[in-house]
Amino acid sequence: MPKTTPKLLASPKRGSGNACAGALSTYPAEPRSVERPIAAICDSALLEAIARAEWILTGFRNRDIRSHIFKATPKNPRRLRRQSAAIGRRLRLLRAHRIIRKIPHTHRYTLTPYGRNLVTALLAVQHADTQKLTALAA
């Protein structure tokens, strides 16, 4: 008996490559508002959001990160769900790389010590000015 894959798994992936490059998604056209499109979630915005000091003790939720990346809460429930799913996928990826860990019996996450060092280093490199660094090195 030949194995067949379900149609859901066989369908092509939506969206494309790098989210920061302004990649257009393949979802049906919707009127865009002033908020950031879901395809434009930058990794740096996500790292800045999870590195905030206010979440050191209690951790952060998907809702917390979503409110920092997408400034306004959409009125359309479909759009809200899509934003939440997009953040959830990013959190799942961070968790797989052991940058964040889930706090047991809650819907909250916290940075691991490895994640804290990595995020701090990445944000420092991103905000570094190469001209100032070369002047200091010379």
pLDDT tens digit sequence for 56-113: 999 999 999 998 888 888 888 999 999 999 999 999 999 999 999 999 999 999 999 9
Note if the pTM is more than 0.75.
no
CA–CA distance, 93 with 61 (Å, rounded to integer): 15
Q: Taking all residues of the chain, what is their mean pLDDT, rounded to a whole number?
A: 77
Q: What is the pLDDT of residue 65?
A: 92
Quick check: 19 pLDDT over 90?
A: no
Place 38 in a pLDDT band, splitting at 50, 70 and 90: low
